[in-house]
């Protein structure tokens, strides 16, 4: 399989700029492969955004934070002294917690605790207070002795500066409701309308708005090519469709059915061919269209190898595949599938999920969740099968995308596949 070379590829973070730049597009470019589906297959079904691995498992991590208190007039001096006592390179790891809090704003259990600790604490909490509580930072990042030494030099503080630890959430809240709950349970908390555990909520909402009208159309087309693959005997009833969404409208780029049984792996003795899954075949067809355009533009002949056994099976085999493959790519610039959208009948396996990431796909929508073999979802696998990988959004990978599960509405069921099947 030949792949077009990248021009400029962002390898340091999510490719989310596409979602910010593109306007909401409702126009679907006419194409005889989908025109007959439009009357019955628009605005159908429900899109459910996938949760990241952190959203599923790590949203309640608790750490211990150091706090102190000082007269309000000395607050800035205290904060400055705390910064100087902090080890070099350790920034504020708790930016979602308010740095300063009035005694009246503390959770009830902290008020009770601090009020009964010392006589000065009782005085601070039982009269109109001119004191304020200050978060020092995560306890592991500070030496108590060094903090006390820094605070002791500030005029107006207690002879023995107040210093204690409290449990606090390590990660920022993902909603206003959660921030309010944490403010009453831990410490006054700020919700900044972001999501430290995954894509920003506004990004997910905008992406959903962009695709919700025609997602059912592309899922239906993927269903149609899946049926052809099954009926022809080349593979399982699985299909994938790749589209491009731009200011010019939404256009079909590639489609492919599963071909794992075609040529039966050339007598290699394998039960199926993982390189012929519908997702990898569709990505390869996008690459071939780009290469075809480049060679035509450069005046280079277009030749194909004559292989007795083709490991990828990425030549069009089905009638729908052939008709789509004959059509030109709507945009011949850029890297492979950068910013494109993939619609697939079943959740892609780990192999195909990584292929999706490496091709720089922008959005993925699948119809049937594969809890035992899928690579995009983060939900734990059944029967002790381990944790889902949530590959669509992981911090340690150099690419992220948006992904949804599409709940069926109006698309007939496909033939059942074994739950351990890789798609």
Residue 219 sits in a domain whose CATH number is 3.40.140.10
The pLDDT score that the predictor gives to residue 181 is 93
> Same domain, yes or no, for 245 and 350?
yes
Q: Which residue, of 186, 212, 240, is where some domain finishes?
A: 186
Residue 207: left (phi > 0), alpha (psi -120 to 50), or beta?
A: alpha
Q: What distance in Å separates the CA atoms of residue 410 and residue 83, rounded to the nearest whole number?
A: 60
> Same domain, yes or no, for 98 and 174?
yes
Banded pLDDT at 122 (limits 50, 70, 90): confident
> Same domain, yes or no, for 157 and 210?
no
Structurally, the chain folds into a number of domains equal to 2
Alpha helices, H only, 106-244: 108-117, 119-126, 144-152, 176-185, 201-211, 215-232
The pLDDT score that the predictor gives to residue 280 is 96
Which residue, 310, 239, 320, is CA-closest to 268?
A: 310
pLDDT tens track for 6-63: 433 343 444 444 444 444 446 899 999 999 999 999 999 999 999 998 888 765 789 9
The pLDDT score that the predictor gives to residue 110 is 92
Is 195 part of any domain?
no
> Same domain, yes or no, for 265 and 293?
yes
The pLDDT score that the predictor gives to residue 75 is 86
The length of the chain is: 423
The pLDDT score that the predictor gives to residue 22 is 44
pLDDT at 172 over 80: yes
Is 423 part of any domain?
no
Is 28 part of any domain?
no
Query: Domain span at residue 71?
Result: 62-186
> Same domain, yes or no, for 294 and 399?
yes
Is 303 part of any domain?
no
The answer to whether the CB of 377 falls within 8 A of the CB of 56 is no
Q: Which residue, of 126, 159, 186, is where some domain finishes?
A: 186
The pLDDT score that the predictor gives to residue 25 is 43
Q: What distance in Å separates the CA atoms of residue 88 and residue 85, rounded to the nearest whole number?
A: 9
The pLDDT score that the predictor gives to residue 26 is 61
> Same domain, yes or no, for 178 and 205?
no
The pLDDT score that the predictor gives to residue 9 is 36
Residue with tokens 């740095």, as numbered in its chain:
99
pLDDT tens track for 176-203: 888 999 999 999 999 887 777 888 888 9
Backbone angles phi, psi at 280, to 5 degrees: -65, -35
The answer to whether the CB of 281 falls within 8 A of the CB of 355 is no
Which residue, 331, 236, 335, 233, is CA-closest to 283?
A: 335
pLDDT at 89 over 60: no
Rounded mean pLDDT, 114-130: 81
Q: What is the mean pLDDT of the chain?
A: 85
> Same domain, yes or no, for 207 and 174?
no
pLDDT tens track for 288-307: 999 998 888 888 888 777 77
The answer to whether the CB of 138 falls within 8 A of the CB of 63 is yes
Q: Which residue, of 186, 213, 248, is where some domain finishes?
A: 186
> Same domain, yes or no, for 357 and 397?
yes
> Same domain, yes or no, for 293 and 178?
no
């Amino acid at each position: 399989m030949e792949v077009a070379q990248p021009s400029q590829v962002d390898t340091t973070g999510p490719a989310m700029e596409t979602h910010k730049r593109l306007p909401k597009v409702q126009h679907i470019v006419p194409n005889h492969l989908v025109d007959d589906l439009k009357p019955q297959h628009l605005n159908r079904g429900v899109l459910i955004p996938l949760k990241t691995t952190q959203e599923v498992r790590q949203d309640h991590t608790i750490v211990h934070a150091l706090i102190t208190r000082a007269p309000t007039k000395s607050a800035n001096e205290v904060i400055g002294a705390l910064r100087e006592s902090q080890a070099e390179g350790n920034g504020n790891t708790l930016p979602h917690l308010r740095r300063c809090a009035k005694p009246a704003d503390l959770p009830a259990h902290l008020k009770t605790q601090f009020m009964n600790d010392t006589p000065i604490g009782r005085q601070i909490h039982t009269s109109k207070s001119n004191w304020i509580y200050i978060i020092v930072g995560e306890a592991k990042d500070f030496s108590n002795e060094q903090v006390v030494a820094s605070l002791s030099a500030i005029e107006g503080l207690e002879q023995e500066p107040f210093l204690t630890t409290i449990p606090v959430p390590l990660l920022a809240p993902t909603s206003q409701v959660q921030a309010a709950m944490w403010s009453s349970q831990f410490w006054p908390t700020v919700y900044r309308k972001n999501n430290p555990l995954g894509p920003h909520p506004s990004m997910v909402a905008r992406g959903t708005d962009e695709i919700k009208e025609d997602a059912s159309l592309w899922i239906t087309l993927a269903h149609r090519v899946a049926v052809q693959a099954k009926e022809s005997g080349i593979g399982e009833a699985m299909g994938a469709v790749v589209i491009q969404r731009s200011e010019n409208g939404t256009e079909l780029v590639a489609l492919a059915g599963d071909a794992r049984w075609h040529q039966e792996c050339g007598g290699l003795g394998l039960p199926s061919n993982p390189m012929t899954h519908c997702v990898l075949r569709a990505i390869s067809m996008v690459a071939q269209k780009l290469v075809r355009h480049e060679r035509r533009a450069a005046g280079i002949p277009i030749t194909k190898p004559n292989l007795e056994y083709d490991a990828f099976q990425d030549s069009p085999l089905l009638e729908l595949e052939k008709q789509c493959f004959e059509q030109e790519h709507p945009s011949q610039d850029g890297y492979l599938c950068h910013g494109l959208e993939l619609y697939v009948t079943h959740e892609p396996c780990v192999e195909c999920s990584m292929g999706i990431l490496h091709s720089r796909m922008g959005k993925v929508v699948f119809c049937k969740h594969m809890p035992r073999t899928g690579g995009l979802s983060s939900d734990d696998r059944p029967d002790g099968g381990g944790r889902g990988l949530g590959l669509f959004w992981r911090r340690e990978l150099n690419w992220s995308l948006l992904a949804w599960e599409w709940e069926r509405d109006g698309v007939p069921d496909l033939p059942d596949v074994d739950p351990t099947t890789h798609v």
